[in-house]
């Protein structure tokens, strides 16, 4: 059975639509098997922003690292291990000031590591997190997938690039604002640069998840 990594990041907690939809999707993909889902709750348990200890640890030999440096690299190793252990990655991303939340950005800073999730070759960077599918559920206060607000959507291009950079090239995005009653899914293939749109009713994904979120009881 596939193992699913569910990453949630909205500061709205259980009231978050991105978290609700992503949670419901993860449980559907897992076939109701809670053991098949690992939840990384970045809102409930935010990661410390990277700093001097983390950067120093990246370049220091293991035997020369200080305790704070080793703690920072241990956390990164844990997050990277979770990522590689998953067959499917589900990310709940609320749009904050036209981009991703600071909690999700910090998570990304910990998992993008040269030699671990990507490497530099004579032909350029190569992603090492291969053979996985990513579902990204994004929510915003309006519609940013089209129309006048589309140029202000820095969330989707950023996540698309980050995931593709580390080798996760099969990506499906779902975006909805308060005006929409359905999720507009966009399948994006980074390698072939092709996309496909299809719709899913938001009520179908939320069914069974209001007012509570069952999967949020299972956290790392």
| Secondary structure (DSSP) of 138-202 | EE-SS--SSGGGGGG--HHHHHHHHHHHTT--EEEEEEE-TT-SEEEEEEEETTTTEEEEEEEEH
Residue 154 is predicted with a pLDDT of: 80
Which residues partner with 173 through β-bridges? 136, 186
Asked if pLDDT for residue 177 goes beyond 80, the answer is no
Domains and CATH numbers, the chain: 4-217 (3.40.50.360)
Residue 183 is predicted with a pLDDT of: 46
pLDDT-wise least confident of 6-20, 52-66, 70-84, 140-154: 140-154
Closest CA to 19 of 35, 33, 7, 3: 7
Residue 212 is predicted with a pLDDT of: 36
Residue with tokens 């589900």: 90
Can you give the length of the chain in residues? 220
Percent of the chain with pLDDT over 70: 75
pLDDT band at 191 (very low <50, low <70, confident <90, very high): very low
| pLDDT one-digit tens code per residue, 44-83 | 999 999 999 999 999 999 999 999 999 999 999 999 999 9
Asked if pLDDT for residue 206 goes beyond 50, the answer is no
């Amino acid at each position: 059975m596939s193992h699913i990594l569910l990453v949630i990041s909205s500061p709205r907690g259980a009231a978050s639509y991105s978290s609700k939809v992503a949670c419901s999707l993860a449980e559907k993909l897992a076939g109701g098997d809670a053991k098949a889902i690992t939840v990384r709750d970045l809102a409930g348990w935010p990661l410390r922003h990277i700093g001097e200890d983390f950067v120093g640890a990246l370049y220091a030999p293991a035997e020369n690292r200080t305790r704070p440096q080793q703690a920072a690299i241990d956390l990164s190793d844990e997050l990277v291990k979770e990522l590689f252990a998953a067959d499917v990655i589900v990310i709940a991303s609320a749009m904050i000031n036209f981009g991703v939340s600071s909690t999700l950005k910090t998570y990304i800073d910990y998992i993008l590591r040269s030699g671990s999730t990507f490497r530099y070759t004579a032909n350029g960077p190569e992603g090492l997190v291969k053979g996985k599918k990513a579902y990204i559920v994004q929510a915003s206060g309006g519609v940013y997938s089209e129309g006048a607000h589309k140029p202000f959507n820095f969330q989707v291009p950023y996540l698309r690039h980050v995931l593709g950079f580390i080798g996760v090239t099969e990506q499906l995005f779902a975006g909805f604002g308060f005006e929409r009653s359905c999720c507009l899914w966009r399948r994006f293939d980074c390698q072939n640069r092709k996309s496909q749109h299809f719709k899913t009713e938001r009520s179908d994904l939320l069914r069974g998840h209001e007012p509570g979120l069952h999967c949020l009881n299972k956290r790392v």
